Structure 1
């Protein structure tokens, strides 16, 4: 049976229609690069269409039309009517780029093929929602998308505003469908106005319909489309004559090559889809970017310094260890938050990481996401006051609050905007900003009360590393000076303090016996040359004789005891050196030797061990090398 194929152009209906210009403009002018918008929109569509079993395979392939040019021209030409000003004829050349977005293990675009037909009870109208309708409310509960405006990016990236869609549905009776679509500008043919929307397929009595099953397979093979295996379901969206954008803006811009575009697409996948690389169950996504059949290597987000902290923070949220975004009214639990503190490092300059980097400066951002775990944005909060430190955090909306955040998103799903919301939805979105700033401040700029003997050593470091160190408990050994209830001494400036007051009135022997070396203030984390250290301040009182003090650092296990033997393969923190307050060169090792003289303070450095609870302590060595009884 011969089927007539060609382009069918939509007339404005007497009651009104949607002009093509309006569909493309629904995207607005996103700040993100169009290739990044494509990655985000396509991945959301694929994730919402996932099947219940196994991961989603998501791929992007770039290639020149090349030797297939004649076949494509024969199949898709002539273009829509001349009055439509279609450029399809001009762009179908050997140098034209085909950008193919593919997913597998998804349900495909099923349901009716015409918009006016009611879907069966077990069907969703996916085909007409993507190919024909505009602005229809989503029917995917807790889906990544909201309304279908974002699909305009597929047309915007085509130099002819044209795409070709090849899909195979899942289920007991799978169906393959092949159809083209194009968006141009509205126009007149004599007195009849046309919307600028066009469809390619089987020309019927009133509209164009998709090619089905064997006809779709035959034409798909002629055009060199990926096709589907016997048990496969999914969708291929071909952007015809893709505009790959520019490497740089302004006068120095140059058109991206295929390799540069692939690199940028891969980088966008890493930055915006990293939560989907690893999920809590078997429902995750596998990503693939290819250029002329050659695959671009995508590292795991856990292997990238700038993403590893976000991955760990999301792991905490998934495991129920996040800080709840609690409200007094419904929805009372609106989401969870987790933050990871880390040394500030120079940004990774791997091209695959750097190409689509959405952040500048040190990490001080919260990756915000709804329940589908697709990154909405990187919300900037306060920069860490210590330039050597940075942090990254994750906020994930709860199921109860997901709808409120979905309503706040623009068509590109890249922000949460409170403007225009009402009631509880407004409260949820507005309150989140305050919540995030407050939680970040609790970690990087905590307001702590003066420490007591019971809380010594838990102040600054526990507040700043409470999420980095699971039990939020960095401890110290030794009693505080009763004359100094703050525990900081009065030597925080780092200057040497001369004996005075009660110290000066004692005899030298009494002074030495009464005042033992001790840890003062709050232990803390410091980063030097991108290496983190646990740090404590040791006060060594004045003495008439030489004193030798040894510093220790222990890993503390449950119950407060020091760890006797670490787990196999685990790192052990070690005292690596110390430095006096007078600015002399650091001294390696754990022993501090101080000659007769005034009181001094020393900074003691211990090697950093991830996910450990540590305790600093000091002991004075007797002249024979043993310790004084304490």
Structure 2
């Protein structure tokens, strides 16, 4: 059975005009494709089944040779006076976006808005396709009042979508396919219409209903939709004649190609949905796919994208209870948790899948804020790391007790926490969260003024000022290996080794003493920063013992002889040869042979500047 379009007249008691429904989304600052990714994923996550695994995909398609079936089934379209002119827009070069989820319960519940859902069922079908502005009935869900579904219509040049769903309830109404469109209100003679239209089978009472089961399957097959032949439950939402958005800056921008749109969507998934890619409690997570005309575009794992690694680590700390609690003296007493991790300032990924929808420029100094559903609300900027070689990523996650209060502060697109207009506990929690996060950042970055007088300077700022004593380049690689050098050399000077029964300094017979070369570099290894200095050991005919020391440099360039009580001191941790051999401790024994390169690792102090020294003596065993 084929369907037809039906236009909604205004009821005598009043109705919602289509223009108002679309405008409820506002004008988001985010790219519309990013809004689509965020809103669609929220819907899918809220509809997940008990096993906690959701498969979510977006396919960008050009109708091409299938245009005949689309025109045959969907034309004639709604009245031209309402503006969604399908007849003109449905062409072979038109693009559609197919947004799919599986392992969700589908859009179930009653087919009509005026009917009460049975016990245990949720009226998802009417909430998505018929009603507007209903409060969320999903505990700790990502959405609130369902206004975000307007993005599906807004991305369509003709304000039209098709929805194909297979519900977990099954039965005679388990498979449902229906279209919907939002145009302009209009008149037919003296009768006024809302501008809302539905495509389906029109019942005897002149109300449209979806195509069901076999009829729905036949239409989906004819249109080349994914379908549900494998028996899984879920929903496919098709955005007709999609606007893929601009590529490049104005005034020379052009519309994205399907491949460019798929890359941007992939990047939006990474930056907005990465927490859902990391298995949570009981293994709950989302798996993502992006396609272009059926060909898949890989969605990288977030822990393989350098820009996202600090955020991933911070979230794992929050989940494990290692974060700092946002505690209050009044309920909700625990309103959230914060954690932060370091990254490399020049370690950003250059892959388009990571950069196309990156929400900020330059090294990360941001906090990913999220509610219990772990969908990123936004990236709140904080102060840059005082050491220009370092970046950081942090996470603030609302607690279950405070989740609803944060939800009240969100706009329809859920991309900010806005205290304006709130009162009582909600206002206090949202305002206090920003203050709490800023305080945590200041403390962890060493920006809190020193005790003992006004005008004191934070240790982090002092470190940044003194950093010129030991110029360094930050190597973005994670793991052990020889660092690249850069800048001028550090202040160095040979000194005698101490202890170990050494006979004291002796003159090398051929190549002279071991020496530091280049400048120390800063490396992140297994989530910890280290200073790494390169040491060149000359050729020699005898065995030598080479020892490294590291010391704190005070303002003016002198050596700190008496550290403050309880202060952490830098320590040499290990040596590594050019071929990867690792030796723990301050000293290495270098056998006779040709000139060799070594790398010495020391702990890094974020509130200090350090200097390496190396010394060499002949081994008593030689």
The answer on whether the counterparts of 2:42 and 2:142 sit within 8 Å (CA) in structure 1 is: yes
In 2, distance between residues paired with 1:171 and 1:436?
Answer: 44
After superposition, the C-alpha distances for 1:386-434 in whole angstroms (9 at most, x for unaligned) are: 2112111000000000000101010001000001111000000000111
Name the SS for the 1:215 alignment partner.
helix
Q: TM-score, normalised by structure 1?
A: 0.75
Tell me whether 1:403 sits opposite 2:404 in the alignment.
Answer: yes
Q: CA deviation at 1:447?
A: 4.1
Q: CA deviation at 1:121?
A: 0.9
Name the SS for the 1:352 alignment partner.
helix
In 1, distance between residues paired with 2:88 and 2:379?
Answer: 40
After superposition, the C-alpha distances for 1:280-307 in whole angstroms (9 at most, x for unaligned) are: 2321000000111111012111001110
1:175: which partner in 2?
174
1:537: which partner in 2?
552
Q: CA deviation at 1:207?
A: 1.2
Please point out which of 598, 606, 616 is paired with 2:601.
606
After superposition, the C-alpha distances for 1:149-206 in whole angstroms (9 at most, x for unaligned) are: 0000000011110000000001364700000000011111111111100000001122
1:22: which partner in 2?
20
In 1, distance between residues paired with 2:582 and 2:417?
Answer: 42
Q: CA deviation at 1:529?
A: 8.8
Q: CA deviation at 1:83?
A: 2.4
The answer on whether the counterparts of 1:57 and 1:103 sit within 8 Å (CA) in structure 2 is: yes
Q: TM-score, normalised by structure 2?
A: 0.76
Where does 1:385-396 land on structure 2 (aligned, <5 Å)? 385-396=386-397
Q: CA deviation at 1:15?
A: 1.4
1:194: which partner in 2?
193
1:216: which partner in 2?
216
In 2, distance between residues paired with 1:389 and 1:609?
Answer: 12
The answer on whether the counterparts of 2:107 and 2:167 sit within 8 Å (CA) in structure 1 is: yes
Please point out which of 122, 143, 146 is paired with 1:145.
143
In 2, distance between residues paired with 1:114 and 1:210?
Answer: 10
After superposition, the C-alpha distances for 1:424-466 in whole angstroms (9 at most, x for unaligned) are: 0000000011101100000112548689xxxxxxx969x99xx
| Stretch of structure 1 that moved more, 533-542 or 127-136 | 533-542
1:46: which partner in 2?
44
| Stretch of structure 1 that moved more, 72-81 or 426-435 | 72-81
Where does 1:76-115 land on structure 2 (aligned, <5 Å)? 76-115=74-113
1:132: which partner in 2?
130
After superposition, the C-alpha distances for 1:255-288 in whole angstroms (9 at most, x for unaligned) are: 1101000000000000100001112232100000
Residues 573, 163 of structure 1: alpha-carbon distance in 2 compared, 3 angstrom cutoff: farther
After superposition, the C-alpha distances for 1:93-145 in whole angstroms (9 at most, x for unaligned) are: 11111110000000000000110000001110000000000000011111000
Where does 1:223-234 land on structure 2 (aligned, <5 Å)? 223-234=223-234
After superposition, the C-alpha distances for 1:299-327 in whole angstroms (9 at most, x for unaligned) are: 11100111011001000000000000001
Where does 1:50-69 land on structure 2 (aligned, <5 Å)? 50-69=48-67
Q: CA deviation at 1:345?
A: 1.2
After superposition, the C-alpha distances for 1:523-566 in whole angstroms (9 at most, x for unaligned) are: xxx85599953464277799xxxxxxxx96249xxxxxxxxxxx
Residues 341, 243 of structure 1: alpha-carbon distance in 2 compared, 3 angstrom cutoff: same
In 2, distance between residues paired with 1:201 and 1:5?
Answer: 4
Where does 1:284-433 land on structure 2 (aligned, <5 Å)? 284-433=285-434
| Stretch of structure 1 that moved more, 529-538 or 316-325 | 529-538
Where does 1:151-166 land on structure 2 (aligned, <5 Å)? 151-166=149-164
Q: CA deviation at 1:249?
A: 3.0
Name the SS for the 1:182 alignment partner.
strand
Residues 64, 330 of structure 1: alpha-carbon distance in 2 compared, 3 angstrom cutoff: same
2:508: which partner in 1?
none
Name the SS for the 1:252 alignment partner.
coil
2:572: which partner in 1?
553
The answer on whether the counterparts of 2:67 and 2:91 sit within 8 Å (CA) in structure 1 is: yes
Task: Work out the number of aligned pairs and report it.
Answer: 509
Q: CA deviation at 1:624?
A: 8.2
The answer on whether the counterparts of 2:573 and 2:603 sit within 8 Å (CA) in structure 1 is: no
After superposition, the C-alpha distances for 1:20-79 in whole angstroms (9 at most, x for unaligned) are: 111111111111110000000000000000001141000111111112111111111111
Name the SS for the 1:251 alignment partner.
coil
In 1, distance between residues paired with 2:614 and 2:264?
Answer: 59
After superposition, the C-alpha distances for 1:563-616 in whole angstroms (9 at most, x for unaligned) are: xxxxxx997776699xxxxxxxxx9879xxxxxxxxxxxxxx735699xxxxx9
In 2, distance between residues paired with 1:105 and 1:8?
Answer: 32
Residues 117, 573 of structure 1: alpha-carbon distance in 2 compared, 3 angstrom cutoff: farther
Residues 231, 570 of structure 1: alpha-carbon distance in 2 compared, 3 angstrom cutoff: farther
The answer on whether the counterparts of 1:201 and 1:211 sit within 8 Å (CA) in structure 2 is: yes
The answer on whether the counterparts of 2:109 and 2:121 sit within 8 Å (CA) in structure 1 is: yes
The answer on whether the counterparts of 2:84 and 2:182 sit within 8 Å (CA) in structure 1 is: no
Q: CA deviation at 1:87?
A: 1.2
In 2, distance between residues paired with 1:356 and 1:376?
Answer: 15
